[in-house]
């Protein structure tokens, strides 16, 4: 049994430090709910229907009030995490996010656990299919971090592979291949042959994006061979679609058509709307290539209906693009123009959604955990938990919060400088000294060039986490831009500010960042500027002094602290 799963589930006799007086029947029921969750989790990659049934039974058992009058909240959260995953892979984005948000609200703690990792993993899938790629990367990065921290290597590989899928569909195949390779290495180490086959199929799609057709074909065929022999039809549908796409790219239209039709038949037999949509879109492309425009039109229109019904925004605007091309070939310029307009409108809307919803009520709770000073962020968390609050108000607060929070690191961004001016004014009134630290990552461009932006992002997230962990409740860290960070230290004189900066520099230097086989040693340079309690305090001047000190630190060898 997975130790990480066991550690996520509490002793049924105690909750929040308070003893429970539960009957033997209550304890047995809660244990059964846990067992059902474990079973659902263990087969979620192998079956579509069965995990959902198990999770629904688990939720029903956990929802019953015990002798103490309380529901089994942890068990409910676990079951909802599985239901959210099922909804996500079925392409039901909004139900998945709603279930995940409910699960988060039931957790007593946001400490790393299997359940918390499962919630973020489900969110990642939902965001992927909803076309919100930036948000998908954020939550999947957190899912991978949690899995690594609790030692759940299988879950870590799944998160890495799913992140790679996000990179692939968002036009970053090099980053995608890097993620697939790391996931593959873990699954091979674990000896999980089915998961290896799944990763290989995803890699085939990425090779296709890289136009390495031979590698794509070989990788997909190896995956299909194992999956077909072992009767995993729900994965077979995806591999057949990949193979059809590879053969289409290689110009083998007969093989492409055969694989697409076979995949479509399986999808319809299993009522998998997501796979049916993908197969119909691929089939439409093949038919169009064959010059069968009327048949292609029918196929893409059917795919569009499914995409609209199930909230698959990316597939929806891609269908409009394909329909425009088909109408052009059918000599119907008016219909083509209409479809092109719909394509561009929906693609633009999808991109806007991606940039504007990186902070979404409870869906990125981990980004909000340290936002102690921003009342609007706190208000967002409260509103997101209150079901009676209208969606329009949640959206308004979400956008207000977006203005001052960096989506990658969860720190404040430069828009929060206006709040820092207020912090500084308050410090002046209290006659407190103030310091500013400016810091950035040494040789950050070389890290990106050598290991890819995937690892570069991990470095920034890791540094942000160290900043938060090593900050006092009165300190205000923010991401100033790129790899540069700023920390406002209220109540610190020059000596204490320099000491705090050196502590941080030393901590970072001892920390290795990376994932899988890639591990990067990171150092930072820090500039510190301070003003005494009775000195003139102007934030822009203080930042400029700290920035000049940072420049000196970089010029004199890096990995050091320089005080202005």
pLDDT in tens, 221-261: 998 888 888 777 777 888 899 899 999 999 999 999 999 99
Q: What is the mean pLDDT of residues 274-285?
A: 90
Q: Is 400 a residue whose pLDDT tops 50?
A: no
Provide CB contacts within 8 A for 184, sequence distance 6+.
157, 161, 196, 199, 200, 203
Of 172 and 20, the one with more pLDDT: 172
Residue 172 lies in a domain: no
For 400-424, what is the mean pLDDT? 69
Domain boundary among 94, 119, 151: 151
547, 465: one domain: yes
Are residue 138 and residue 7 in the same domain, yes or no? yes
Q: Give the residue with greater pLDDT, 399 vs 62.
A: 62
Q: Does residue 205 belong to any structural domain of this protein?
A: no
User: What's the average model confidence in pLDDT over 435-457?
Assistant: 87
For residue 436, the model assigns a pLDDT of 92
User: Residue 244's domain spans which residues?
Assistant: 232-358
Confirm whether 330 is domain-assigned: yes
Alpha carbons 422 and 406: distance in angstroms, whole number: 20
Contact yes or no for 470/504 (Cβ under 8 A): yes
The residue that leads in pLDDT, 103 or 420, is: 103
CA nearest 525: which of 559, 491, 488, 500?
559
Q: Does residue 318 sit in the same domain as residue 461? A: no
H or E element that contains 528: strand 524-531
Answer yes or no: is 167 within a domain.
no
Distance CA 483, CA 445 (A): 9
Does residue 209 lie within any of the structural domains? no
Q: Is there a single domain that holds both residue 251 and residue 323?
A: yes
Q: What is the CATH number of the domain that holds 541?
A: 3.30.70.270
Mean of the per-residue pLDDT values for the chain? 81
Q: For residues 64 and 79, give the distance between their C-alpha atoms in angstroms, rounded to a whole number.
A: 13
* Dihedral (Cα; 189, 194, 199, 204), 10-degree rounding: 130
The answer to whether residues 483 and 558 belong to one domain is yes
b/e code 385-410 from CB counts within 10 Å (16+ = b): eeeeeeeeebeebbeebbebbbbbbb
Within this chain, do residues 290 and 340 fall inside the same structural domain, yes or no? yes
- How buried is 87 (Cβ within 10 angstroms: 0-12 exposed, 13-18 middle, 19+ buried)? buried
Query: Within this chain, do residues 251 and 383 fall inside the same structural domain, yes or no?
Result: no
Rg of the chain over all Cα atoms, to the nearest angstrom: 26
Count the domains in the chain.
4
Say if residue 397's pLDDT is above 60: no
One domain for residues 13 and 147: yes
Residue 254 has what pLDDT? Answer: 95
- Whether pLDDT at 398 is above 80: no
* Model pLDDT for residues 504-553, shown as the tens digit of each residue: 999 899 887 765 567 788 999 999 998 887 666 677 888 899 999 999 99
What lies within 8 Å, CB to CB, of 245 at 6+ separation is 205, 208, 256, 282
Residues 556 and 526 in one domain: yes
CATH code for position 125 = 1.25.40.10
**Any domain includes 366:** no
325, 358, 391 - which closes a domain: 358
Answer for the pair 531, 473: CB distance below 8 angstroms, yes or no.
no
Q: Is 180 within the bounds of a domain?
A: no
pLDDT by residue (tens digit) across 9-38?
544 444 333 345 678 888 999 999 999 999
Residue 239 falls within a domain, yes or no? yes
147 and 244 together in one domain: no
Instruction: Return d(Cα 54, Cα 190) in angstroms, integer.
Output: 25
Q: What is the pTM assigned to this prediction?
A: 0.57
Considering the domain architecture, whether residues 392 and 425 belong to the same structural domain is answered as no
Residues 42 and 141 in one domain: yes
What pLDDT digit, counting tens, does each position of 39-74 carry? 999 888 766 678 889 999 999 999 998 887 888 999
* Separation CA 546–CA 520 (nearest Å): 27
């Amino acid at each position: 049994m997975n130790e990480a799963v066991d550690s996520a589930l509490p002793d049924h006799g105690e909750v929040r430090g308070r003893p429970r007086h539960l009957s033997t029947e209550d304890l047995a029921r809660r244990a059964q709910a846990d067992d059902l969750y474990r079973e659902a989790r263990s087969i979620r990659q192998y079956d579509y229907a069965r995990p959902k049934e198990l999770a629904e039974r688990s939720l029903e058992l956990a929802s019953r009030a015990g002798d103490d009058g309380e529901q089994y909240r942890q068990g409910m959260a676990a079951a909802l995490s599985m239901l959210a995953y099922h909804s996500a892979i079925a392409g039901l984005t909004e139900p998945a996010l709603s279930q995940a948000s409910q699960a988060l609200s039931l957790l007593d703690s946001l400490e790393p656990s299997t359940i918390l990792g499962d919630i973020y993993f489900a969110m990642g899938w939902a965001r992927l299919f909803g076309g919100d790629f930036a948000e998908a990367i954020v939550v999947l990065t957190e899912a991978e971090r949690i899995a690594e921290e609790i030692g759940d290597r299988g879950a870590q590989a799944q998160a890495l592979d799913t992140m790679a899928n996000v990179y692939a569909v968002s036009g970053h195949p090099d980053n995608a291949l890097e993620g697939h390779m790391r996931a593959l290495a873990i699954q091979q180490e674990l000896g999980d042959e089915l998961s290896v086959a799944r990763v290989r199929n995803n890699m085939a799609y990425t090779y296709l994006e890289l136009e390495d057709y031979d590698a794509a074909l070989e990788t997909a065929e190896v995956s299909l061979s194992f999956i077909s022999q072992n009767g995993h039809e729900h994965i077979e549908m995806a591999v057949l679609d990949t193979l059809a796409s590879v053969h289409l790219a290689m110009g083998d239209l007969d093989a492409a058509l055969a694989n697409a039709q076979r995949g479509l038949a399986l999808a319809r037999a299993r009522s998998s709307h997501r796979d049916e949509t993908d197969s119909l879109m691929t089939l439409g492309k093949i038919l169009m290539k064959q010059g069968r425009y009327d048949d292609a039109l029918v196929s893409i229109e059917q795919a569009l209906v499914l995409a609209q019904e199930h909230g698959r925004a990316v597939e929806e605007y891609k269908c409009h693009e394909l329909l425009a091309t088909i109408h052009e070939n059918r000599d119907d310029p008016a219909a083509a123009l209409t479809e092109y307009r719909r394509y561009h409108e929906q693609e633009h809307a999808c991109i806007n959604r991606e940039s504007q919803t990186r902070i979404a009520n409870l869906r990125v709770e981990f980004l909000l955990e340290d936002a102690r000073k921003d009342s609007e962020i706190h208000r967002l968390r409260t509103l997101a938990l209150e079901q009676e609050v209208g969606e329009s108000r949640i959206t308004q607060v979400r956008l207000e919060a977006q203005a001052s929070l960096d989506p990658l690191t969860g720190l404040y961004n430069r828009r929060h400088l206006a709040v820092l001016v207020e912090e500084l004014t308050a410090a002046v009134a209290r006659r407190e000294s103030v310091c500013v630290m400016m810091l950035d990552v040494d040789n950050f461009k070389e890290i990106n060039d050598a290991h890819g932006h995937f690892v570069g992002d991990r470095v920034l997230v890791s540094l942000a986490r160290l900043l938060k962990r090593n900050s006092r409740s009165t300190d205000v860290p923010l991401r100033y831009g790129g790899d540069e960070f700023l920390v406002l230290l209220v109540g610190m004189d020059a000596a204490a500010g320099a000491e705090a900066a050196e502590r941080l520099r030393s901590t970072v230097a001892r920390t290795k960042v990376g994932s899988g086989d890639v591990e990067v040693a990171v150092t930072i340079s820090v500039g510190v500027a301070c003003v005494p309690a009775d000195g003139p305090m102007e934030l822009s001047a203080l930042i400029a002094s700290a920035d000049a000190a940072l420049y000196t630190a970089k010029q004199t060898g890096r990995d050091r602290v320089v005080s202005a």
